[in-house]
Amino acid sequence: MLSKFKPTWMIESIFSITPQFLLENHINCVLTDLDNTLIPWNSKKGSEELRSWLHETHKYGVKVIVVSNNSHRRIHKAVKDYQLPIVPRAMKPLTIGIRHAIKEFGLKKQNTVMVGDQLLTDVVAANSCQVRSILVKPLVNNDAWNTTINRMMEKVIWNKLIKKYPNLHWE
């Protein structure tokens, strides 16, 4: 049961994920959460850091697709400057959004990774789809009200997780 919440990797920030790391792990597509993973949840736009990370990632032929529970309007506004494909209303922890992305963009699960800041949504959805996952730390220390509730549950799960998997560590 606890294994559902276990990320494949834990990396401080999406911007620390290098093309070399992705290619070494045979990943050619990054599905990414939006809020607090790509941009702060309360921000309307991305950063220069996001722009250069995308530039670098795309240079190595890695696709980046936003798979978010948020609305089309919110996601579109946030990433329209970067021309990223988006899957809105992904309903993580359900697998709907990830499965949709895999089908629509002709992806292979074994070459795909889901990146997100929440165990309860991003990691569970990825594990339920047999897609590898990278847990990142949230870009800002606060969350939207609905995420606050998840964070409380996440703390409980987190404590169990590190007890059961002492090798889990931030890279």
Beta bridge partners, 30, equal 64, 113
Torsion of CA 74, 75, 77, 80, to 10 degrees: -170
Q: H-helix or E-strand containing 111? A: none
- The residue (of 110 and 142) whose beta carbon lies closer to Mg ion is 142
- The residue (of 23 and 144) whose beta carbon lies closer to Mg ion is 144
- The residue (of 23 and 140) whose beta carbon lies closer to Mg ion is 140
Site for Mg ion in 99-158 (CB under 5 A): 117
Q: In the bound complex, what is the minimum distance in angstroms from residue 24's beta carbon to Mg ion?
A: 26
- The residue (of 23 and 149) whose beta carbon lies closer to Mg ion is 149
The reply on whether position 36 binds Mg ion by CB under 5 A is yes
d(CA 129, CA 93): 10
Q: Where are the alpha helices (DSSP H) in the chain?
A: 19-24, 48-59, 72-79, 96-104, 124-128, 145-164
Q: In the bound complex, what is the minimum distance in angstroms from residue 166's beta carbon to Mg ion?
A: 26
Residues that bind Mg ion (CB under 5 A): 33, 35-36, 117
